Every structure is written in structure tokens, then in C-alpha cells.
Structure 1
Amino acid sequence: MSNTSFVSSDEIRDRFSKAMSAMYQAEVPQYETLLELVEEVNRETLERDTELAERLSAHDELNRLGVERHGAIRVGTSEELAMLRRLFAVMGMHPVGYYDLSEAGVPVHSTAFRPIDDAALARNPFRVFTSLLRLELIENPTLRERAASILAERDIFTAGARELIALGESQGGLNDEQADRFVAEALETFRWHRNATVDLATYEALNAEHRLIADVVCFRGPHINHLTPRTLNIDEAQKRMPAAGMNAKEVIEGPPRRNCPILLRQTSFKALEEPTQFKGERQGTHTARFGEIEQRGVALTAKGRTLYDRLLTASREKTQGLANDAHQQALAEVFAEFPDDEATLRREELAFFEYRLTGAGQTADAGHETDLEALIAQGLVTARPITYEDFLPVSAAGIFQSNLGGTQNDAYTGHANKGAFEAALGAAVTNELALYAEREAASKARVLRALGHTIAVND
């Protein structure tokens, strides 16, 4: 089959993310309300802040604003994780980053499947935060073995999905009809099933150990547990959620509101209590699925992340138990130490930037000048923040705990095991900081080459 007949992986990812959104809106109607609220907040923000609107337009960000959303899924076995890697690869999504959520008392470790090159991110940046259950962290051996035996009996993928994944791998892609069938078959893995695969007593035992364990183990598949639109003003969205009928989580996760947003801020409406049919004809409920909102800022360098992590740790005691407004104020006071203007972030190498020639720079003679800050001062080069495309383990755990009844078990903490995760995955995860560093370095090299310089740029 000719490669020209294949649908691009970016197009398949775009189809899949739209199908996933439509399915989740039908399954969780409150998510549709959340999308409407975020669209309203974004529209009003752009109307008030014309400079922001012009900047997003100039950087071709407005079109992707409406599709900037991620999902999250939790699986129970290494076999499930490895097949998910193959499924996401069909859509041009690769495992980026390793997240140890056990450090926050949640018995999983995770990665994010996402596109990694600029063109793919511009086409559709959809990503799926994917967690693997840490069965070895369950202290009760009887319960641990019971969970393992339940998971061993299920197959979360349809025969059609397996067939099309293998076909795509063998022929190097999928044609239009195959791509549509792949999306339909893959979607079944993420669909909600109200019938549990266990009796109520087993569910309650696993739920008592940790609600996330029950969510992963007790159902036919790892239903998508949330989707996430991107907002330009998460504080305003948080304020409006109750009036729209949503039970918002208590505080916004991540850094405080800033003039120059950094990393990722997240909030959500709390997980819904949904009727569930257990084996033995017992009726009950399960709480797991919710709607999230994210606001993304600039990606931080290793130096910037070290400062962020230190300040976040310092803020925990000051913000403990505070309502959102007071929490954000206390957080902002601690983070006052973190520079809040682009020039300082750039000069102190706290954040990643992409460098481009200005209109003047494209025609000017820069002579022998190679210092980018000097070229920026001369108006020949511009630097714009590189958007953070990844996640924060403490924030992810905070979202999980909020939507799982605040459950935490300190016995899970301090058990990072990237090697075991990669062995289960069947591949190494990409270092997210390396991706941002490569993008920044490449942009510097392009600018200097365009100005007639051939020096190497090493950062």
C-alpha cells in the first residue's frame, strides 16, 4: 500500500480527541456545561485583554485554544500499559515524563502520552495522562492477590482495536476507512461501563484500601476519568463553577496566579456519584469521573523547577486547610521570590523561550553580534515563552485525592520506580526537559544562522 493513502497520525489523533469529547459529554453531561463555561470565560478574557488576543493570534494559538484538552486514564497491568503505548503510537502520541504519585500517597506511577514535535502540537496537542496501578504497594497480601487475579481475567481492548494496531504497525499507517474504524474501536477502551466485574463486598474491600484501586480493578475497562479544556483565566472559571451547578474542588492546584504564568494550574468539578450494578444483583454507586480545567504557562528549566519545587514545599504549611482565596494569597506571598517578568525569567535561565527574527531582523545587518539579549534589545530578535505541555505530580495527586474523597495513604510514599514503569511500558519515557531544551537551542541556532553566524549553540 502506498504511503500517500495513509491518514496522518495527527489527523487520527484529532479525530480521536473529538470523538472522545463527544462521548464524554454524552456520558457526563456536566462536562458539556464545563466546556460552555470555559468558552465563555475565554471569550470574555480575550475581549478584555486585546494584547493577549493579538499575541495568541500572532503565534497561531487561537485555533488550538479550543482543542487544547487532555484526558486521564488508569490501568492495572503492565500488559495493558504496553498495549496502550502501541495504541497511542498510532495517533503520534509518545510517553513523555515519569511521575511518581506515590510521593503524595496515591498508589500509581504515570506518564503522559502526547505529540512531541512543534507541527504535531500545533495540529492537535491532545494528550492522555496514563497511570499504572502499583499493586505491590497494597500491604494486605490477600487483597493484593485478589486484585491481581481480577485484572488477569479482563481484556480492555477490542479484537478490532488489536487488529488495527497491528495493521498500522505492519503497513506503516492506516488509510481513511481504517483510521475511522480504529477511532471507533479504540474509543471502547475508554467508555464507561456501569456494571462492575466484582461483587459489592470485593469492591468495598478494595475501596477501603484506596478508592483509586477499586476504580482501576473493578470494571471491564479503564474508563476515561476526566477530560480537560484549557482556560485563559482559571481563577474566573473556578468562581463561576458553583453558579453553573458544579461542585468545584476547594483549591486550584499548582502555582499562584502571575503576570507571567508558569507550568500548569488545574481545578475541577468533583467526581460524580454514579449508579453501579455489582455482581449478585447488588446496586451501589461509584465515584470517579469528573471534569477538569487547565491553564498553561511557560515551561521551566531544571533551575526554574528547582526553585518552583522549593517554594511549593515551603508553601504547604502556610496554605494547609485554607479556602481558595486565602490559599491563593498565601501561595502568592511565598512565590513572590519567583521572578514574574519574561526578561528576568529568560536572563536568569529559569524558563524556556523560542527565539525568532523580527521583521527588522530579517533585513538588518547585525554585524558580529551573537549575544541574543543584545539582539533582542536592538529589536532584531524576539523571544516568546515555550508553553509547558506536561504535568505536575503533586497537582495530579491533588486532583486525584479531591475526586476520590481526599484519600491518602502515607504507606505508599517514597516508592518511585522509573525502571519498573519503563519495563512495563516496553519503552523508555522521553525526558520532557530535554524536549524543551532542544526546541530552545534549535531556535537560537536558526536565528544566528539567519544572521550569518555559524557558531554552535550549546545550552
Structure 2
Amino acid sequence: MPGTAHVSPDEIRKGFSRAMSDMYRDEVPLYGALMTLVAQTNAQVLESNTGLAEHLRRTGEIERLDMERHGAIRLGTAAELATISRLFAVMGMQPVGYYDLTPAGVPVHSTAFRAVHEQSLQTSPFRVFTSLLRLELIESPALRSFAETALAKRSIFTPGALALIEQAETDGGLGASDAEEFIRQALETFRWHPTATVTAAQYRQLSDQHRLIADVVAFRGPHINHLTPRTLDIDQVQAAMPGHGITPKAVIEGPPRRKCPILLRQTSFKALEEPIGFTDAQGSHSARFGEIEQRGVALTPKGRALYDQLLNAARDELGAFPNESNATRYEQLMEQHFQAFPDDHAQMREQGLAYFRYFPTEKGLAARRKSDQPRTLEGLISAGHVAVEPLVYEDFLPVSAAGIFQSNLGDAAQSHYTANSNKAEFEQALGRSTIDELQLYGETQQRSMDECMSMLRE
């Protein structure tokens, strides 16, 4: 009710992320094994790499490392997307970026719901990659009509969740007990259901069109299909996964291993084959998997253009979709081509390839108001009055996202779509514009510059 002290959206998001992780660990025990492996790896890296440990402490990332997660869901209708946007808004999450996955043969377009301010991200960097099925890409008119009808019949939100969303919008937030109830009700949207809403034959028809279409249309809710912890050494985790009873995918998505990581690297264990009760028979479905990620520095438009150029050159030379048969060759090509991307933060900053955060040092604070203190940012950096730290990338890579999707659907599931990207249609369904992630990084970098200079001029 109005006047009640509201729980901050950041705290609601933090609680929801923890509840989601607990639920997924219960549903997919291998996720728990993966979490243990990641925690062990991170502890080893921090112990052996004191420079990285100090960097994480300076930037505040050390506090968020163990709780960092991203999830992914796939929705079927514009109405579902519009409502999920309202649900995430209660948790302080906004749609950042637009991703068209059709070039990789995946019939969806997507955005990432997350916090947008660096202080909110420090409280909880939970993010959800949210995809909307592009029904117009179903070739058969009859099958498309069936999919539309099936999706129209379902309601993926509980009445309680819808009521609390409306209450939060009306009152400007939720009190403590309502926030707890909101988390419980919202969690139901993401829960796994071992029963389908279609017959075995209808499921096969949908799956034959594309396995992801079956995953969206054949169930009564958009079960979370993976949760992703953040590791500090993805290659070490990838190598250790088989020894923990986890079968990794063949290729780590994203850039090759580097001294100074850029953007995002991802890998996963292959999707589980799970028993499913269709309306007329028993069968199985494969969709849910475990994923890990290693995050590097966010790249500027210039840096992204160079990244895309090098990635495309490596893939063009490979001449095929990266898979188990060509994984070694692909890794060699990536390392070869990415030699053209500076593997040094100072060079990246000088060349305008990446975003950074700026912090006053003790030396700089001690020299405040002294006549010999440098007046420019570059002068302050050279004098040791300002420290520079890479700004962590908070978003996703279209090719990486598509690669993870495709590897877990199977190479045989790859399709080819000629449809163009349709950001306008996606945003119409969403009910608002998506936020340009590069603008957010620019704003964060500028804020850190302004705050740094202000502190040194006090």
C-alpha cells in the first residue's frame, strides 16, 4: 500500500536470482556440480593470480563474483514478452540490446534484461537472455496456425504474479512481505514441467520444423533452459568438466584465450534428454543445459568492428559451423586471426578499442589542491594519481548465443532463414525500445571520469 517502505528493486533481483539458482540446482543436479567446479576454479585463480585478485577488489567485482548468473528463456508471443518486461522491471531489469539469431539458423530474436547502472550491477548482476519465437518463420501455414493456437491457450504467469506486478506499478514498489511473495510467484513462470500440452505427433511436427520451436510451443511455460555462473578461467573449467562427470561442448564460443580477456567467452554441457509426458504418450525432450562464462572488457564500436572482422575472417576460413570435428582447427584459426587485436589494456585504451573505469589513487588524493598536480586526465594517469581498470562486459554476443543454442540443438537442427532482422517488430511486441548497450558503457566510463576528477579537485 502507499506509504509502505519499499524493498529496492536491486534487492528483489538479488533474492530472485538466489531463488532461481536454488530451483535450478534441484531440477538439474549437474548444475550443482558445475557450480562446485567453478567455485574451486575461481579460488585457485585468485590464489595464483594476485594481480587479478587485486583488480577485482578495486572494482568491487570480487563481491559479486560468486552470485553472478545469467539465465535464458524463450517466449512464444508478443503478449508474453510485454508482460515479462513488466515482471523484470519490478526487479530493476531493463531490456538491453537487440539480438537477431536467424543468421545462425535459430528462429528467434532477443534482448537481455539486466540492471543498467554500475552500482545496481554490483548489488546483483543477474541477467536473463530473453528470446521471442518468430512464428512467421514456420514454413507450413497449417503448422504455424497450430503453434499460434497452442500458444494463445496458455498463461505463463500466475494470477498472483500479475497482481503483484500491477501493485508494484501502481504503488511504485513492493514492501518486504509482498517482495517475498513476488519472488515465489514469479519463479513459477520459469519452473520446469515434465508434461507437454501437445500430442507426440504434434511435438514431432514442431521439432521437425526446428527443435527450438517445439521447446517453446509444446509446453505451458518458458522453463529456464540454463543458468550460467561466471568463471575466471573458462579453459581450466572446460578441461576439468569430464573429470566431474560433465560432457562439455566441443568449442568455447567467443574470442580465443588471451592475457587480457575481451567481451565474453562461453561453454556448456550438452542438453539433457529428459522424460516428457505428451497428451497421448510418453517420450523425451532435450532443452536444458548448464553453461559457464568468462567475462572480459567491454569493447567500443571501434573495438566491436575489429572483433567482428577477425571473428568473421576465422569462420570464413574454417568454411563450416564450428563443431567437434573441426574444433582444433577453429581454435588455431581464431588464435591466428586475433593476433591483430591488442592483448594489452593500455594499448586497447590508447587505440579506443575498449571502455574503462577510472579511480583516484591514494597518491592522487594526497596531492589534492597542490599546485603541481597534473590538470589533465592523461597527466593524472601518468603521475600515478588515477588508476585505470577495464570495464566488464555485461551483455552477450549474437554469435556466441547462437552457437550455444545450436550446439545444444544438434548440428542436424541447423536451419537457414532468409528473413531480415526485425528490431522494430520486436520492440513493438516488447512495448518499448531496447537500450543501446554501447551507450551504457560510454555513460559508465564518463561517470567514472567525472567522479574521479571531482574527487581530485575537492
TM-score by length of 2: 0.96
Unaligned runs of 5+ in 2: none
Q: Are the counterparts in 2 of residues 346 and 353 from structure 1 also a CA contact under 8 Å?
A: yes
Residue by residue over 1:109-139, the C-alpha shift from the partner in whole angstroms, topping out at 9 and shown as x without a partner, is 0000001111110001000000000001112
Q: In the TM superposition, what are the counterparts of 1:321-360 in structure 2 within 5 Å?
A: 321=323, 323-360=326-363
Determine whether 1:432 maps to 2:431. Answer: no
Q: Separation in 1 of the partners of 2:128 and 2:372?
A: 47
Contact 1:10 1:124 in 2 (8 A): yes
Matched residue type, 1:425: L
Following TM superposition, by how much is the alpha carbon of 1:175 offset from its aligned partner in structure 2, in angstroms?
A: 1.0
- Partners of 1:270 and 1:158 lie apart in 2 by 31
Question: Within the alignment, does 1:289 sit opposite 2:288 as a pair?
Answer: yes
Task: Specify the alignment match of 1:50 in structure 2.
Answer: 50
Give the secondary structure class of the aligned counterpart of 1:362. helix
1:394 equivalent in alignment to 2:393: no
SS in 2 for 1:360: helix
Per mean C-alpha deviation after superposition, the further-off stretch among 260-269 and 173-182 is 173-182
Between the aligned partners of 2:245 and 2:329, the Cα distance in structure 1 is 23
SS in structure 2 of the partner of residue 351 of structure 1? coil
Is 2:415 the partner of 1:375?
no
How much identity, in percent, do the aligned residues show? 57
Of 39-48 and 440-449, more deviation after overlay is shown by 440-449
Q: Structure 1 residue 57: deviation in Å?
A: 2.1
CA distance in 1, matches of 2:155, 2:16: 21
**1:413 Cα deviation (Å)?**
4.1
Q: Deviations over 1:176-216 (max 9, x none)?
A: 11111111111110001111000011110010010000000
- Structure 2 residue 415 is the aligned partner of structure 1 residue 409: yes
Query: What is the DSSP-based 3-state SS (H/G/I as helix, E as strand, rest coil) of the residue aligned with 1:275?
Result: strand
Q: Does 1:362 align with 2:374?
A: no
Judged with a 3 Å threshold, the aligned counterparts in structure 2 of structure 1 residues 150 and 304 are, in CA distance, closer, same or farther, namely same
SS of aligned partner of 2:71: strand
For structure 1, the 5+ residue unaligned runs are: 454-459
Taking the TM superposition and a 5 Å limit, the aligned residue runs for 1:216-255 are: 216-255=216-255
Aligned-residue offset at 1:373: 2.5
Q: Structure 1 residue 448: deviation in Å?
A: 2.9
Question: Quick one: distance in 2 between partners of 1:385 and 1:414?
Answer: 37
Distance 1:368 1:55, change over 3 A: closer
Letter in 1 for 2:64: R
Alpha-carbon distance between aligned partners in 2 of 1:398 and 1:413, rounded to the nearest angstrom? 18
Following superposition, the deviation at residue 332 of structure 1 comes to 1.1
The counterpart of 2:454, out of the listed 445, 449, 453, is 449
Q: Is the 8 A contact 2:314 2:330 kept in 1?
A: no
Which amino acid letter does the alignment assign opposite residue 354 of structure 2? Answer: A
Work out the CA distance in 2 between the residues paired with 1:171 and 1:414. Answer: 42
Cα 1:366–1:378 change in 2 (3 A) is: farther
Conserved? CA contact 1:258–1:340, under 8 Å: yes
Indicate if the aligned counterparts of 1:198 and 1:278 stay in contact, CA closer than 8 A: yes
Amino acid at match of 2:23: M
- d(CA) in 1 for partners of 2:307, 2:78: 32
Deviation at 1:445, TM superposition (A): 2.2
CA distance in 2, matches of 1:39, 1:310: 34
Decide whether the 8 Å contact of 1:277 with 1:283 is kept in 2. Answer: yes
What is the CA–CA distance in structure 2 between the aligned matches of 1:366 and 1:374, rounded to whole Å? Answer: 14
Question: Structure 1: which amino acid aligns with 2:415?
Answer: N
Deviation at 1:58, TM superposition (A): 2.7
Contact 2:299–2:353 under 8 Å retained in 1: yes
Cα distance per residue 1:223-271 (max 9 Å; x no partner): 0000000000000101111111112111000001111100000000010
Superposed displacement of residue 330, structure 1: 2.3
* Cα contact 2:98–2:423 (8 A) shared by 1: yes
Match of 1:132 in 2: 132
**Are the structure 2 counterparts of residues 27 and 129 from structure 1 closer, same or farther at C-alpha, using a change threshold of 3 Å?**
same
Instruction: Provide the C-alpha distance between the structure 2 equivalents of 1:396 and 1:146, rounded to a whole number of angstroms.
Output: 28
Structure 2 partner of 1:74 = 74
CA distance in 2, matches of 1:439, 1:4: 32
Aligned counterpart, 2:164: 164
Q: Matched residues in 2 for 1:214 and 1:60: separation?
A: 42
- Is the aligned partner of 1:8 residue 2:8? yes
Q: Which amino acid aligns with 1:295?
A: Q
Match of 1:456 in 2: none
| Residue 172 of structure 1, CA deviation | 1.0
Given that 1:252 and 1:324 are in contact with CA atoms closer than 8 Å, whether structure 2 keeps it comes out as no
The answer to whether the 8 Å contact 2:315/2:330 transfers is no
Residue identity in the other structure for 1:223: H
How large is the RMSD of aligned CA atoms in angstroms?
1.5
Residue equivalent to 2:149: 149
